[in-house]
Structure 1
Amino acid sequence: MPSNVEIKARVSNATRLAERASQLSQSEGTVIRQQDTFFNCSTGRLKLRNLMDGRGQLIFYERPDCDGPKVSNYSISDTQDPEGLRTVLADSLGVKGEVRKERRLFLVGQTRVHLDTVEGLGHYMELECAGREA
């Protein structure tokens, strides 16, 4: 199963973080609108990411619930019918929650820098470094 290391934090100055990420990545970043639906799951987490353009990703991941950097093991399957898949999963497993956000993605070396504006919650950042498969 692929893995990555993630660090997440609330952001108090999104403009300053975007400026710094822009400098480091030498780009303006890529804007991605997303709606994540989380489903009840007996182990790990299961979410459907609707990319709001007719595409989506079903993502299962296992990650500890703790502060600081953490390893996340995950599996991803792409879909061309996120709404239909959401209906089937909601009917069979039940919805645990939903998150709508606008993500600005910057690539700095092998690190993905996400600056998220989460509807109703504010600004967050995530640093994500891909792990190596054995």
Structure 2
Amino acid sequence: MFFPRYRALISGQFTLFSLSSFCSSSCSHTVAAPPRRKFFARKSSLDTRTNRDTDNRRVMPSNVEIKAKVSNPMQFAKRASELSQSEGTIIRQHDTFFNCTQGRLKLRDFMNESGQLIFYERPDTEGPKLSRYSISPTSDPPSLRTVLSDALGVKGEVCKERRLFLIGQTRVHLDAVEGLGDYMELEVVMRPEQTVEDGQKVAEELMQQLGVSKQSLVMGAYMDLLLKGHTDT
């Protein structure tokens, strides 16, 4: 009687997953279209099939993103306003990045007693790239920052003023990043039925409409650019 129960216990599996997404606060860089592939899912060797079913039930939100340096922010804002038919929304952000063995973990403080803890993963390539992420809101960013700083250590901080425009399914950001300068980000919020290629096409078409050249594309997050010593130019 004991042995069958024991076998039932050890036949279980554990699934590890990783997410991907984002940082937008006060600093970042460019990227090229990644090959279509699955990341962010690790499977237990005990039962690959069952693990795959578990992964399918746990679908993480995803974006296709583009980041670029902006030489003329006023001109960019004018084009974004015309396409979005709005003047955009101003958002202040202070991002604190913590040491993390996989992906990126950051706490975003909106400087109004609200914030978000964000974990995300995305490839560091030029052009449109897939980003998967997980977000948890917080009403006490300073307290959470203290706990995470003690537990993990701080990798760096990014401060910026963001102007957000909504164009179709895309979030268009015009960022004035402290220590870096002016940048723009496109975040195509993927729909369940869309492929990565669909998102890349939306991003590339909007990039052309906004007058963003391929030469201005940057790779990596604002935090990466700051750590590499990039400065305002």
Q: TM-score range by the shorter chain?
A: over 0.9
Aligned residue identity for 1:99: V
Structure 2: state its 5+ residue gaps: 1-59, 194-233
AA in 1 matched with 2:137: D
Q: How does 1:33-112 map to 2 (within 5 A)?
A: 33-112=92-171
The structure that is strand-richer by fraction is 1
Count of aligned residue pairs for this structure pair: 134
Partner of 1:129: 188
* Alpha-carbon distance between aligned partners in 2 of 1:83 and 1:133, rounded to the nearest angstrom: 35
Asked whether the equivalents of residues 3 and 133 of structure 1 are also in contact (C-alpha less than 8 Å), the reply is no
Aligned to 2:72: 13
Q: RMSD of aligned C-alpha atoms?
A: 0.9
Runs of 4+ in 1 over 4 A off after TM superposition: none
Deviation at 1:120, TM superposition (A): 1.3
The structure with more helix, counted as a fraction of residues:
2
Give the structure with higher Rg (CA): 2
Query: In the TM superposition, what whole-angstrom CA distance separates every residue of 1:31-66 from its partner, at most 9, and x where no partner exists?
Result: 000001100001000000000100000000010111
1:21 Cα deviation (Å)? Answer: 0.3
TM-score (norm: length of structure 1): 0.98
How many Å apart are 1:132 and its aligned residue? Answer: 2.6
SS of residue matched to 1:85: helix
Percent of residue pairs bearing the same amino acid type: 74
The answer to which structure, 1 or 2, has the higher relative contact order (CA under 8 A, 6+ apart) is: 1
**Alpha-carbon separation, structure 1, partners of 2:161 and 2:91:** 6
